[in-house]
Amino acid sequence: MRMRRSNAGISSLLKNQFSADAIHTENSPAYHLFATKAFKQVINTGLFPEHSTLTEITERAIDHNFRMYHPNGDLVQIGDSGGRGLEHPVDMVE
């Protein structure tokens, strides 16, 4: 029962956090990177091994992480995201 409720909760979070294209719905690079890292950490716990939607959306969101930075490494200034200070996406996928 708890696992079913946990799976439903994760599914609801994913639906509310990411668009169909796996971009964070806040349209802010900082939020996208934060949420992507948080969901990757959830995957790494191993608590949801059969939740294919969690893995699929998180991996697709990680694929977008590189689009959140300018070539010089600065975070794209959209929404309430600020220049530097967030780890680069290469560092967060491990």
Higher pLDDT, 90 or 70: 70
Q: Residues with Cβ < 8 Å from 48, sequence gap 6 or more?
A: 6, 7, 10, 42, 54
CA distance 9 to 13: 6
Structure tokens at 7: 């799976």
Which pLDDT tens digit goes with each residue over 58-88?
999 999 998 888 888 888 888 776 655 455 5
Taking the model in full, what pTM does it have?
0.80
